[in-house]
Structure 1
Amino acid sequence: MKKTMKAVLALVLALTMLLGCSATAFAATDLTTKSSINLQFNEKGKFRILQFADTQDSIFLRPGTAALVKESIAKFKPGLVVFTGDNTSVVGTALEAKLALKALLTYCEDAKVPFTCVFGNHDAEKVSKETHLKYWREYKYCMAYDADPTLYGTATHNLTIKSSDGKSTAFNLWMFDSNMYDEANGGYDYIHPDQLAWYKKTSDALKTANGGSLVPSICFQHIIPNEIMDYTTTGSNDSIGYYDGNLKANVVLDPAYCEKGSVLLEHPCPGTVNGGQLKAFAEQGDVLGVVTGHDHVNDFVVHTNFKTAKSTSIDLIQTAGAGFRSYGDDRVRGVRVIDLDETNLWSYTTKSYTLYDVLGYGKDVHQLTYFSKDGYTYWIISKVIECLPFAGPQLAEIFRNAVYSAATK
């Protein structure tokens, strides 16, 4: 049976790659050109961002991830979708990367929702970030670009949001490549000095264009800033923690700084080096918070001691992974929504939603999670059955029900 499954997988992969070979070539090789799409507060003065962290899949997107992406877009109706790194998990060629993105981004394209991305530590382990970015930019609703190719990393950029009347820039979004691995010091990488210099220069230009007033903003990146470790403690409180064998204690977020209900199920994994990112943000004064992924089972908001120009805290906003291919926990696996209000631009509201919040708790959802994990090979076989010329979809449904029933007895 195992040999048969492997043969089916190999056949489907080969057919998919052959079909992919006829796909459209790069729309452009220039990675610095901004999209012509304009982000704008709606007539009610609202703007919504939907974040997906660590979708991290390949050509055959897990059905649970696919459903979560599709239904979240339909449910929350965002003005922008942001993918915050480890967007795909490519083990082979550039063609695989291209097809993996097609499987993921089709839901944004179908919904005609603008989207952008930052890269994580896994995206470019096999295929370069530049190649990934070229593939991203083939899509009509993609807004990602590389603001300055001389900077450390790839695709660090910003996106402005116009006021509801379209007359001014009301808000700004920073997209930072937090890079991959620190070759000099070991561990994960961080936001480098040249990236922060670009940030300050761009922030100053926005301020000048805004009549001398700072433009409030939120930052998105994959790896959380180093300072998160200053806001953990041992013991128990309203947040969920993890057990640290070295400390022989339960580690939680400090209740004096975190939002109630925050979840810390694993040790945060910031960069080895503190590059001074939050210090730079505080000196400039325009960033309300840093939104991250990377740590798949952590979900929290921490109010740091770093302040904006309006004396509000610069928050660390961590979102659990949305994907099923890599590790995760269904208690937190999901998405994050960030809402902006034009009448109070120096504030924001945010809430994370689990896959059950989005998809419900019925049998269909449990089937999706099963076929996204242990039953994934069977799900691929069912997709092959769907292609049969006679009653394919019906037979595939019978097959899935039979497999799931046997697995859950």
Structure 2
Amino acid sequence: MTNLRFREDGSFRVLQMADIQDGPNVLPDTIRLIREAIRKADPDLVVFTGDQIRGYDPAYIDTFLRRRGEEPGARVRAVTEVEAKLRGIKRRARNRVNNRLLAMKSDGSNPDVQQTASTASTTSTLVYSTTSDPQDVPTTLDELMDETRDKVRRTFAGFLGPVIEAEVPFAATYGNHDFQCGILADEQDGIYREFPGCLNPVDSLEPGTFALPIEASDGSGRVAMSVMMVNSGDYAGKPEENDAQYPAYVVNPRGLDLADSDGYGTPSPEAIDWLGAVQSELGERNGDGKPVPAIAFQHIPPQEFYDCLKEVPAWTPNAVEGARTHAGHCYVLNHEICRPGSRLGEAIGCADENVGEVDALREAGGYFALFCGHDHKNAFVGHAHGIDLGYAPTCGFECYGPKSRYRGIRLFEFHESNPAGYVTRMLTWGDLVGRYSSNEVRVWFEDHCVTGAISMRNELRRPQVFAVLSGAMSLGFMAVIRSLVKKR
């Protein structure tokens, strides 16, 4: 593995790329943003903080996993089905028995393997066959999984291209959509390692949870700082416990992340313990037993991120409504503790359960910041509970997010003498490329996406949106009055 080291001038630069969330053909705008950010920043390390894969993309319709443990392709989002039809993507016919055997094998559980195997030679039913193409013969799941692996490699090759060209080391953790393509994190880890510059270790605690020590510039080997990558989980609960909620998922597929589950996931208990144990290991390596200055990166934010906000009345301009455990409350940034340039564009999508991660960071010592992705429109940095809590917004153009000019990549500049005194800023499309993307109509719809009453109310709190709707309603009212007057 490449040894990371502070430069001779004592500096070290990191780029955080969040929520690329794309399919096999990564959009050119996303690749251009990554390339321009690398050119501007000249980073020493790139970290990907989850949801690199748009697991619900129609390209993965045959192997899609709504939740872990389910049969790949069995329960596909309604919106994915619609998108697939619009893009002319057809689902493949498969053998049910082979599907079950391989799905259980890939998931590591096999309660019915013997019974299923005993009927494998006599049963050959199809899971589905939605195409009349005579060339589309029944396909086994292992063939479809191989195709998905190739698609995942193409996705990685797309967004990693500029990173590899610049010969910058990179590391990746995982979000709540990566696994939904059907390839789980442990296998994705192996695919990442096929690319030059990957720092994801083979022997990590779990895929996406590991330390990246940064050595002092003097070549002594002393660890002057560490970047910690944390797998923050995906969804809470077990899929079999939520089957009763599946009809609600069909009606509101946009809410699949929450409606058919017990909310978002959290770091595992082992990962929480590791946060302290790894500091002890680094202290022993340095010979002084002291925790090293450290910044942690993960996908899903913990509940403490809400403490960077302040609650306001529901009619406050640009306020956003909280989600799940914070539903019914409206928030804006608390500028007394948030850095200049911070942006709040949507609710904080944290887990319902607080597993004590922030407390663990404080107790371990050394940790000065925790940065996440997940909520595509948020780009704030606040200081709460003795630690910086911050976001990078989406840097992709395939998923929902803010206006083109606000999509970007977060730059961190650390100095060996005081890593906790870091400087961070956004490198945005607007700064690096221009005001508009190559498909601004699409971005406009992604920015103003309304999926329910809460998002509708959030839109109405945006002054420009409210002004446009009010003007349109006024013109409509005047037109009605004029028509009534003419009739008289």
Q: 1:196 to 1:234 in 2, by over 3 A?
A: closer
**What residue number does 2:416 align with?**
342
One of 309, 321, 337 as aligned partner of 1:232: 309
Bigger-Rg structure (1/2): 2
Is 1:172 aligned with 2:245?
no
Amino acid at match of 1:103: G
Query: What secondary structure does 2:438 align onto?
Result: helix
Offset at residue 250 of structure 1 (A): 5.2
Q: How does 1:142-221 map to 2 (within 5 A)?
A: 142-149=198-205, 151=206, 154-167=207-220, 168-183=222-237, 186-210=262-286, 211-221=288-298
Is 1:316 aligned with 2:395?
no
**What residue number does 2:153 align with?**
98
Is 1:62 aligned with 2:27?
yes
Amino acid at match of 1:218: I
Is 1:352 aligned with 2:407?
no
**What residue number does 2:402 align with?**
329
Q: Deviations over 1:75-94 (max 9, x none)?
A: 11000001110012144222
**What residue number does 1:291 align with?**
371
Amino acid at match of 1:253: L
Q: Quote the Cα distance in structure 1 between the aligned partners of 2:14 and 2:5.
A: 12
Offset at residue 255 of structure 1 (A): 2.6
Offset at residue 347 of structure 1 (A): 2.1
Q: Quote the Cα distance in structure 1 between the aligned partners of 2:46 and 2:53.
A: 16
Structure 2-normalised TM-score? 0.63
Deviation larger for 253-262 or 136-145? 253-262
Q: Deviations over 1:168-190 (max 9, x none)?
A: 11111100000100015710011
Amino acid at match of 2:412: I
Conserved? CA contact 1:62–1:372, under 8 Å: no
Offset at residue 233 of structure 1 (A): 1.8
Is 1:263 aligned with 2:263?
no
Q: Quote the Cα distance in structure 2 between the aligned partners of 1:324 and 1:367.
A: 9
**What residue number does 2:84 align with?**
none
Query: What secondary structure does 2:420 align onto?
Result: coil
Amino acid at match of 2:171: T
Amino acid at match of 1:197: D
One of 43, 55, 78 as aligned partner of 1:78: 43
Q: 1:247 to 1:192 in 2, by over 3 A?
A: closer
Q: Deviations over 1:324-358 (max 9, x none)?
A: 11101125211100010012233211111221112
Conserved? CA contact 1:241–1:250, under 8 Å: no
Query: What secondary structure does 1:265 align onto?
Result: coil
Higher helix share: 2
Q: State how many pairs are aligned.
A: 324
Offset at residue 247 of structure 1 (A): 7.8
Offset at residue 248 of structure 1 (A): 7.8
**What residue number does 1:368 align with?**
438
Q: Deviations over 1:360-381 (max 9, x none)?
A: 34xxxx3524497599xxxxxx
Query: What secondary structure does 1:57 align onto?
Result: coil
Amino acid at match of 2:410: R
One of 178, 181, 194 as aligned partner of 1:123: 178
Conserved? CA contact 2:300–2:349, under 8 Å: yes
Conserved? CA contact 1:147–1:155, under 8 Å: no
Q: Give 5+ residue unaligned stretches, structure 2.
A: 61-147, 239-260, 446-488
Q: 1:374 to 1:357 in 2, by over 3 A?
A: closer
Q: Give 5+ residue unaligned stretches, structure 1.
A: 1-34, 306-312, 376-409
One of 6, 15, 18 as aligned partner of 1:53: 18
Q: Quote the Cα distance in structure 2 between the aligned partners of 1:249 and 1:162.
A: 45
Higher strand share: 1
Amino acid at match of 1:206: L
Conserved? CA contact 2:45–2:169, under 8 Å: yes
Structure 1-normalised TM-score? 0.74
Q: Deviations over 1:212-264 (max 9, x none)?
A: 2221000000011111123322349xx99434399887521223321233211
Amino acid at match of 2:388: D
Q: 1:320 to 1:217 in 2, by over 3 A?
A: same
Conserved? CA contact 1:206–1:214, under 8 Å: yes
Q: Quote the Cα distance in structure 2 between the aligned partners of 1:374 and 1:257.
A: 31
Query: What secondary structure does 2:335 align onto?
Result: coil
Aligned identity (percent) is 33
One of 352, 355, 362 as aligned partner of 1:282: 362
Q: Quote the Cα distance in structure 1 between the aligned partners of 2:375 and 2:179.
A: 18
**What residue number does 1:108 align with?**
163
